[in-house]
């Protein structure tokens, strides 16, 4: 497989993002501790002792966390360094999908370890630990670390969606990866709700309890109220900023993909099947994106089959078969049948190269069938150098005259289009073509005819046989367009008529009564 160019910028962005949000959380944690901690001599002494150990703790935890993150991402990094050759290994796929939540969780773990380390450090130094230290040792670190983990997860998830997922999953199908556990929509909403709704309440509760403890300790109420007001405004500003940031990040992972899906469906509704929705996650939204892409692929395949089927059989017959299925074994219908055949083509084929024979047939059939469809005809089949066209086969009852008029108009138009085709052939120094066309109306039997594993939809019966013999009669009379009296009379009632070159009653093989035949217009030459 060809290698593709892929940037490793996402590695640095992810690591720097997580470290940045955690450093910022460390600053806010220090501020909330100062606002909510107890002012007893013991609590102040513990806080001062903690601050002497905090830089060392960070110097150990941050590099160790960074090492863990890089080690976890190393298979993905190696895959990108190799040029992301498809398909991506299963290990790489899993780590890409699980990466954002596990990386944010690794950073959160460093904070959780701190809530154990610093109480133990206090016990080892002072010999005891008191509940008044819960704010600075447990509550503030956990609240701020949860916000950091939530923000870091959403930011890294965004980075992965933009720079990693398209290379590892160019075809989508993220939800099909076994062993992957990305956060679903419900869990992400729960995490978001906890971060922007519940944690601010815990912070406000801590501030109020701290104020109450200070008031009970005999501090000046005016100072306490002033400090509480300042702390409340600061808390409001911080959580407002955090809430807006998290809302934007969450919206990008939900509303934007859904908007892409809606846009794709609207394009499909307008007939555009070239759409491809980018799949950025393995959650419910990703499944929806994959579903839309699968639907579009199925529609493209259906359209391809539909168009291919339409080139094998006439589109009108195709639509009828697709609507009725193979259950329709046969039915009697009234229709107008047109036979069009090249005259003298056998001798032409004998003295002409095979490639030119095929080219000539395709050129002739293209011209005639295009005109026949314009007149409302259905191309039933090609028989050597002849084409069978049916009019009115799928029309409702009571339109027999319209079908006859369409058939006669088509036959007369074929004469004109052959003249135009011969003019182009003459300009190219190619021999002209001649044809014989016959039109007849009557009952036909239409249905699927053939073997169990191969059949075609066609028409049979006396009407088809008469049309074929009239076309042969036209050749014998050296006349290009003939029609039965039934067709000519019905077409005349609809305003379609022409000059009559000859008129005679002809006894046809297999029929007890003669058929009145009209030769229409001037006679033609031969090939």
CATH code of 326-520, in short, is 3.30.70.1230
Q: Which residue has the tokens 């108009």?
A: 409
What pLDDT shows up at residue 1? 41
pLDDT, tens only, 155-166: 898 899 888 988
Q: What is the share, in percent, of the chain residues with pLDDT greater than 70? A: 84
- Helix/strand/coil for 277: coil
pLDDT, tens only, 257-272: 888 888 888 888 888 8
Q: How far apart are CA 523 and CA 436, in angstroms?
A: 10
Q: How far apart are CA 156 and CA 11, in angstroms?
A: 10
The beta-carbon contacts of 502-507 under 8 Å, at least 24 apart in sequence, are 502/477, 506/470, 506/473
Q: Which of 45-49, 355-359, 519-523 has the lowest mean pLDDT?
A: 519-523
Q: Which residue has the tokens 């016990």?
A: 123
Q: Where are the domains of the chain?
A: 9-269, 326-520
Do residues 32 and 144 touch, judged by C-beta distance below 8 A? yes
pLDDT, tens only, 98-123: 999 999 999 999 999 999 999 999 99
294 vs 453 pLDDT, higher one: 294
Q: How far apart are CA 387 and CA 407, in angstroms?
A: 13
Using a cut of 0.85, tell me whether the model's pTM lies above it: no
Q: Which of 58-72, 218-232, 450-464, 474-488 has the lowest mean pLDDT?
A: 218-232
Q: How far apart are CA 85 and CA 1, in angstroms?
A: 6
Strand partners of residue 504: 517
Q: Is 350 exposed, middle or buried (0-12, 13-18, 19+ CB in 10 A)?
A: exposed
């Amino acid at each position: 497989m060809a290698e593709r160019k892929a940037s490793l910028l996402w590695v640095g962005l992810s690591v720097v993002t997580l470290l940045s949000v955690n450093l910022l959380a460390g600053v806010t944690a220090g501020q909330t501790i100062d606002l909510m901690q107890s002012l007893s001599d013991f609590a102040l002494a513990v806080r001062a002792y903690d601050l002497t150990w905090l830089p060392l703790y960070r110097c150990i935890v941050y590099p160790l966390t960074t090492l863990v993150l890089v080690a976890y991402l190393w298979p993905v990094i190696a895959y990108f360094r190799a040029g992301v050759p498809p398909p991506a290994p299963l290990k790489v796929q899993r780590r890409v999908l699980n990466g954002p939540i596990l990386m944010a969780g690794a950073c959160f773990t460093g904070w959780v370890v701190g809530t154990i380390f610093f109480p133990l450090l206090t016990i080892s130094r002072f010999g005891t630990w008191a509940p008044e230290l819960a704010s600075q040792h447990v509550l503030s670190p956990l609240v701020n670390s949860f916000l950091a983990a939530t923000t870091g997860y959403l930011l890294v998830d965004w980075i992965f969606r933009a720079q990693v997922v398209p290379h590892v999953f160019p075809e989508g199908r993220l939800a099909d990866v076994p062993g992957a556990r990305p956060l679903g929509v419900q869990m992400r909403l729960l995490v978001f709700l906890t971060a922007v709704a519940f944690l601010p309440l815990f912070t406000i509760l801590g501030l109020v309890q701290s104020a109450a403890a200070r008031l009970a300790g005999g501090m000046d109420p005016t100072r306490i109220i002033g400090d509480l007001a300042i702390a409340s405004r600061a808390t409001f500003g911080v959580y407002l900023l955090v809430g807006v940031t998290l809302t934007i990040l969450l919206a990008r992972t939900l509303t934007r993909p859904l908007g892409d899906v809606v846009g794709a469906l609207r394009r499909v509704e307008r007939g555009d099947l070239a759409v491809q929705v980018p799949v950025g996650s393995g959650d419910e939204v990703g499944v929806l994106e994959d579903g839309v892409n699968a639907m579009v692929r199925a529609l493209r395949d259906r359209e391809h089959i539909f168009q291919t089927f339409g080139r094998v059989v006439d589109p009108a017959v195709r639509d009828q078969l697709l609507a009725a299925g193979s259950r329709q074994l046969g039915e009697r219908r009234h229709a107008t049948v047109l036979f069009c055949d090249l005259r003298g083509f056998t001798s032409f084929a004998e003295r002409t190269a095979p490639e030119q024979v095929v080219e000539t047939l395709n050129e002739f059939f293209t011209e005639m069938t295009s005109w026949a469809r314009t007149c409302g005809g259905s191309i039933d089949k090609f028989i050597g150098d002849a084409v069978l066209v049916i009019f009115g086969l799928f029309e409702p009852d009571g339109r027999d005259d319209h079908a006859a008029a369409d058939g006669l108009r088509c036959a007369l138009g074929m004469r004109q289009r052959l003249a135009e085709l011969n003019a182009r052939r003459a300009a190219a120094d190619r021999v002209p073509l001649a044809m014989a066309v016959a039109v007849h109306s009557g009952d036909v039997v239409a249905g699927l005819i053939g073997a169990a594993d191969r059949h075609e939809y066609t028409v049979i019966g006396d009407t088809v046989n008469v049309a074929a013999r009239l076309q042969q009669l036209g050749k014998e009379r050296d006349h290009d367009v003939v029609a039965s009296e039934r067709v000519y009379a019905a077409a005349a009632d609809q305003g379609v008529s022409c000059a009559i070159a000859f008129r005679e009653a002809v006894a046809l093989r297999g029929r007890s009564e003669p058929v009145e035949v009209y030769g229409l217009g001037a006679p033609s030459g031969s090939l």
